[in-house]
């Protein structure tokens, strides 16, 4: 059973999507429509901008979404998933690709999500850190022992968990986790504490937008970050998507569940190969590939 997975923030690079724009009239149409919906020329930044411009959350998130969903669209008949999933932002890409919502609504949600998250980050300085080489339970216990906001945010693969919270609490957690044997406790160059209680203002803002967006039954189950289980009910999909901003991304559990449910190969749709690498951490022999559009 083949699964299609969609990357999140961090996979961006200058030039992303340019090959699609130049080789497909359909891609050009969708990119141009995106410029109109967003009210700025995102294609110019994606194709010819600077790393600094592309790193801005309000640009990064729509850019990755566009690269992913346009590529999925161009696959046409070849795009036949038995299951889909997306890492954080990638969940919205997966929902559009699996026909749970349309392109325009998906892009508007991504843009609102990015702006709401950026606003929450500016309201309270916060950060994230990658912890390598400890059991999840050890990291969770240390986070729980700290007086301040610090939580497990991204369960990326066994032995790799990202924590999220206030700067002081993250610093204290990194120190304690290093003391108990973490191979690395590395603060990440991100704008704030994604997937933590500090994103509550953004969650509340996004909840309204999600509630007023039409969701349909997807063409296959979507394994959502909040539950790590396959979901097809539109109302459940909405609830999980709203919860996602303040809840952890259970990517390790998602991969394990997809494999348990019969997934034997994965196609990554969008920039980079991060998700393929995470599946390989679960099983080195697992079949992975990048989606490719050929004219």
- Tell the burial category of 295 from Cβ atoms under 10 Å away from its Cβ (0-12, 13-18, 19+): exposed
Q: What length is written for the chain?
A: 295
Asked if 252 and 91 count as a contact pair (C-beta separation under 8 A), the reply is no
Say which of 68, 98, 111, 195 is annotated catalytic.
195
Mark 13-47 as b/e (b = at least 16 C-beta within 10 Å). eeebbbebbeebeebeebbeebeeebeeebbebbb
Residue 163: C-alpha distances to residues 56, 119, 187, 226 (Å): 21, 20, 9, 16
87 is known as an active-site residue: no
> Which regions of 34-93 does DSSP assign to beta strands (E)?
83-86
Say which of 68, 88, 93, 166 is annotated catalytic.
88
For residue 22, give every residue at least 6 positions away whose Cβ sits within 8 Å of its Cβ, in sequence order, or none: none
3-state secondary structure of 132: strand
195 is known as an active-site residue: yes
Active site residues: 88, 195
């Amino acid at each position: 059973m083949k699964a299609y997975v969609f990357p999140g923030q961090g996979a961006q690079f200058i030039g992303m999507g340019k090959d699609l724009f130049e080789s497909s009239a359909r891609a050009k149409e969708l990119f141009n429509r995106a410029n109109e919906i967003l009210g700025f020329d995102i294609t110019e930044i994606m194709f010819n901008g600077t790393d600094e411009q592309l790193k801005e959350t309000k640009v990064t998130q729509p850019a990755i979404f566009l690269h992913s969903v346009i590529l999925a669209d161009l696959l046409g008949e070849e795009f036949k998933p038995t299951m889909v999933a997306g890492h954080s932002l990638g969940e919205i890409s997966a929902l559009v690709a699996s026909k749970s919502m349309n392109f325009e609504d998906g892009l508007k949600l991504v843009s609102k999500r990015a702006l709401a998250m950026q606003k929450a980050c500016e309201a309270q300085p916060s950060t994230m850190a990658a912890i390598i080489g400890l059991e999840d339970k050890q990291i969770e216990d240390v986070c729980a022992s700290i007086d301040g906001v610090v939580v497990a945010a991204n369960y990326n693969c066994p032995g790799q968990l990202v924590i999220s919270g206030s700067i002081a609490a993250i610093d204290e957690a990194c120190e304690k986790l290093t003391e108990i044997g973490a191979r690395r406790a590395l603060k990440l160059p991100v704008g704030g504490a994604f997937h933590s209680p500090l994103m509550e203002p953004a969650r509340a803002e996004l909840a309204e937008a999600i509630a007023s967006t039409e969701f349909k039954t997807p063409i296959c189950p979507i394994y959502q970050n909040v539950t790590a289980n396959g979901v097809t009910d539109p109302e459940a999909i909405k609830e999980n998507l709203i919860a996602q901003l303040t809840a952890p991304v259970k990517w390790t559990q998602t991969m394990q569940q997809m494999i348990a449910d019969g997934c034997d190969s994965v196609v990554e749709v969008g920039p980079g190969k991060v998700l393929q690498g995470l599946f390989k951490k679960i099983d080195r022999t697992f079949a992975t590939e990048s989606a490719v559009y050929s004219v």
